[in-house]
Structures are given as structure tokens and as C-alpha cells.
Amino acid sequence: MQVLKNALRILQCVVISQPVGVSDVARKLDLPKSSVQRTLTSLEDEGWLTRDTAHGGLWVQTSRIWVLAHQGKEIGVRSLAQEPMHWLWERTNENIHLTQMQGDDVVVVDKLESTHSVRVFDPIGTRLPLHVSASGKALLAARSPEGLDAYLQASPAGFTAESLTEERALRAELQRVSLDGYAVNRGEWRSEISGIGVALRLDGDREAEFGLAISVPSHRLHEDQLAEYGELLLEAKHRIEQAMPLGPGAAG
């Protein structure tokens, strides 16, 4: 039983910390490095984990975890989003994310990857707080006043010098998002990752649950691109929402 518990702890550690090495997993979980290595290899053999050659062979999850956990509605949204996501990718050649709000986090649930040699590493399953993500901020801006108050009163954490954590600053930022229709992340979760995102309204009068984003290395996202990428995202958003059986705002 302890072997199984440790295997689940190791799998969870990789999902949260990826890309991550054997030594880091062993240190985080206070387990022998040799035991961690054997377990990682076994999880790789079963298709749960893999080694990412682009990051020196560090361990990352495979899409199998996401597929198992997200059957049903999410699969349908992925299907609707595929063509608009590809349209967006063709015009930017940057990582395109379909995201889902899960509690106070946003999770990457599908993606198209840039062909640039330097690109963002953000595998399916990547999870981060709403206020430091472009699509997450767009989803926050679409929340009910009560839901937004609850989030802001929980004292959002900072991750970089660019993170907005003070309530007044965050409210002002979300007001701008509401006016522009899209949000911008300027290295607020990781300094090397920036992006632009929108919220998708797919369930009538319900609060938005899914988002769409362009994820870009910070050095490649310039101020004069923001309006262009924002307009592209708004067009892709329109295409996805119109693909719903009755379009956005439909009852049901």
C-alpha cells in the first residue's frame, strides 16, 4: 500500500512542478532518489509520464491524465474550438491555449504549439491562478460581483514583480479587460511567459468557464502587437461561441 501511495505522490509532484528532475522530486517528497527513479520509469512505461528532450530530459506528464479526468463537456468544447484555434495559430505561430476555470485556477485543457525554436513550455494540465493568466483575468472579469469579491478578498499571491496583487490595482485591470474585451499577461506568473486571452461564453447566462489565449515568450510580445492579437482573439472567440448549437446567450 505504501508503494502505491508513494507512486501517487510522485505523479502529483510531477504534474504540479513539471518539468522536474529526479533529484527535485526526491527532495520535495523526502524519498530515496533510487526509489523515485524506479517509480518514474514505471509511470513512463504505463504512459502517465514522459521525459521532455527540450528540457534536458526532465519529467512531464502526458496527455493521458487530462484525457482521463476531462471526459464529456470539455471534449465537446475542444471539438468546437479546434478550427478557430487553428485559424488563430496560422496567423500568429504562437502557442494557442484552450483553458478552463477550475475553482480559483485556470488549467490548459488543449493547445496548439508554435513552431518557433524558442517557445513557451506549457503542457496540457498546466495550472495557475486566475489573476496571473491572460485568459484567467478575462474569466475573472466575467465573474459575478460576488464571485470576484470572494477571489480578491482571498489575498491573491504574487509570483513576479509584474504580478498584480493589490485589490485596487486588480479591479482597475479587470475594468480595462471588460472594456477591451481581452486581457494581457505581462510576465505575471513567470517572467519569461506573457500572453493575451479572452473568456468564452458557451452556456447561456452562466458565468464563463472556458478561455482562449495566445501564449508568447515575453521577449517576443511587443506593445504594438497587443491590439492586433486582441482582435484576432475576439474573432476566434466569436467563431467558437457561434458554433454552439444556439450561439452565445442561448438558454439551457
pLDDT, tens only, 128-185: 999 999 999 999 999 989 989 999 988 899 999 999 999 999 999 999 999 999 999 9
CATH number assigned to the domain comprising residue 22: 1.10.10.10
Residue 43 shares a structural domain with residue 142: no
Same-domain status, 205 and 114:
yes
β-partners of residue 183 are: 197
- Which residue is it, cell 521577449? 219
Using the predicted structure, report yes or no on whether residue 229 has a pLDDT greater than 90: yes
User: Whole-angstrom Cα distance, residue 164 to residue 171?
Assistant: 10
In order of 12, 145, 219, the CA distances from 193 in angstroms are 23, 29, 9
* Domain presence at residue 248: no
pLDDT band at 53 (very low <50, low <70, confident <90, very high): confident
CA neighbours within 13 Å on the CB side: how many for 66? 21
Q: Which regions of 70-192 does DSSP assign to beta strands (E)?
A: 95-102, 105-112, 127-129, 183-186
Q: What is the pLDDT of residues 66-100, one digit of tens each?
A: 555 555 555 578 878 889 999 999 999 999 999 99
The last residue of one of the domains, among 30, 62, 94, is: 62
45 and 85 part of one domain: no
Q: How long, in residues, is the chain?
A: 252
The model's pTM: 0.69
Are 120 and 126 in contact by the 8 Å Cβ rule? The answer is no
From 44, 62, 80, the end of a domain falls on 62
pLDDT digits (tens, 9 = 90+) for 203-219: 654 678 899 999 999 99
Is there a single domain that holds both residue 56 and residue 129?
A: no
**Domain span holding position 220:** 70-243
- On whether residue 39 sits in a domain, the answer given is yes
CATH of the domain at 77: 3.30.450.40
